[in-house]
Amino acid sequence: MKRPEAGAFAAFLITYLFFALATPGTGFVSVNGTAGWLNLAAELGIVAIPVGLLMISGEFDLSIGSTVGAASMILALGTNQYDLPIWPMVLLALAVGALIGLANGLAVVKTKLPSFIVTLATNFIVIGATMGVSRLIANVTSSSIVASDSAKFVFAARWGQANISILWWLLVAYIGYRVLSRSVFGNWIYATGGNLDAARGAGVPVQRVKISLFIATGLAAALVGILQGVQWNSGNATYGMGFVFQAPIVVVIGGVLLTGGYGSVTGIVLGTALFGVISSGIFYTGWNTDWIQLFLGLLLAAAVLANNYVRRLALSSK
C-alpha cells in the first residue's frame, strides 16, 4: 500500500473491471478494443513519462503541447514546401524539441521563477512562432506531410487496430524506468525534488538534472509530433494542445507528488492507461463522451487526496 503506484493500480483495476462489466458483448475487452485504449494512451504516455520525471525533480512543463505541434509543422513545411526528404526533417524536429527544452531549463534554473509560469509562456511563444513562421513561409498553419515508406513504417505502422506508437510508449517507459529506478541520475532526480539544498550539499548537480529533464520532455513531445504527423499525413500547429494538462493529470493520478520527490514510472504508466481506459470505455457504454472530462476531474481530485495519504503512510514507521 505504501508504493507510489498503489493507488493508480487500484484505480486502474476498478475502472477496467467497471467498463468490462458494464459493456458486455461490445468488444471492449477484445484484442481490438484493447488496442483502442492502448492507442489512446500511447502518445500521451510518451510525453507523460518525462513530464513525470520532471515533476519528481520538482518542476513543471506546460510547453509540451506546442512542441508537438511545432514538430509536426517542421515535417510538413520541410517535406511539402521545400520537397526535402523526411528523415532529416525528423532529426530537425527532434533538435528543435530538445532546444525548446533547453531554453525552458535554462530559463527556470537561471531566473529561479516557477516553471509553471515559465513553461506556460513558452507554450504560447512556441505555438505563436509556429503559426507565424508557417504563415510567412506557406501562408497556412496546417499542411500535409510527404513521408517515405521507411518513415511510415517506423512512425505509423499498424497491426490490426494497434498503432506502432504503443511500442514507442513501451520503449520510453522502459528507458524512464531504467533511468528513474536504477540509474545514479534517477537517484539525483528524487533528491533534487525531495530536498534541493540537501541534494546540492551532497554534490548533486541539481541544475543539470533539471535542464536534462526539460530537454527530455522537449524530445518526447517532438517525437509525439512526428508520430501524429506521419500517422495523419499532416502537420498542424495546434496538435498536442490537449497534452498540456492531460500529461500532468495522468502523472498525478499515477502517484507522483505535486511537490516532487516521490513517484514511479510504473505509476505514471498506470495513470496513462487509466486515461486510455476511461476515454475508450465511455465510448463503449454509448454515453456521451463529454463525461470523460468529468471522470478525469474526479479522478484527479481523488488522486491528489490519495497521494497525500500514501505519502503519510510511507513516512509512518513500519
Q: Which residues bind other proteins (CB under 8 A)?
A: 178, 182-184, 186-188, 190-191, 194-195, 197-199, 201-204, 257, 261-262, 311, 314-318
Residue 243 half-sphere exposure, CB side, CA atoms within 13 Å? 36
For residues 101 and 212, what is the distance between their CA atoms, to the nearest angstrom? 8
User: Whole-number minimum distance, CB 59 to other proteins, in Å?
Assistant: 17
Closer of 91 and 202 to other proteins (Cβ): 202
Closer of 24 and 203 to other proteins (Cβ): 203
H or E segment at 234? strand 234-236
Spatial CB neighbours of 256, under 8 Å, sequence gap ≥ 6: 4, 52, 55, 56, 262, 263, 264, 267, 268, 307
User: Whole-number minimum distance, CB 318 to other proteins, in Å?
Assistant: 8
For residues 45 and 194, what is the distance between their CA atoms, to the nearest angstrom? 24
DSSP codes, 133-196: HHHHHHS-SEEE----HHHHHHHH-EETTEETHHHHHHHHHHHHHIIIIISHHHHHHHHHHH-H
Closer of 132 and 205 to other proteins (Cβ): 205
User: Whole-number minimum distance, CB 193 to other proteins, in Å?
Assistant: 9
User: First vs last Cα of the chain: how many Å apart?
Assistant: 12
User: Whole-number minimum distance, CB 2 to other proteins, in Å?
Assistant: 9
Closer of 146 and 258 to other proteins (Cβ): 258
* 3-state percent breakdown (helix, strand, coil) of the chain, nearest 5: 75, 5, 20
User: Whole-number minimum distance, CB 257 to other proteins, in Å?
Assistant: 8
Closer of 71 and 219 to other proteins (Cβ): 219
Closer of 162 and 209 to other proteins (Cβ): 209
Closer of 156 and 206 to other proteins (Cβ): 206
Spatial CB neighbours of 282, under 8 Å, sequence gap ≥ 6: 289, 291, 292, 295
User: Whole-number minimum distance, CB 309 to other proteins, in Å?
Assistant: 14
SS3 of residue 235 by DSSP = strand
Partners of residue 163 on adjacent β-strands = 158
User: Whole-number minimum distance, CB 159 to other proteins, in Å?
Assistant: 28
For residues 18 and 300, what is the distance between their CA atoms, to the nearest angstrom? 18
Q: Are strands 158-159 and 162-163 parallel, antiparallel or unpaired?
A: antiparallel
User: Whole-number minimum distance, CB 195 to other proteins, in Å?
Assistant: 4
Closer of 1 and 184 to other proteins (Cβ): 184
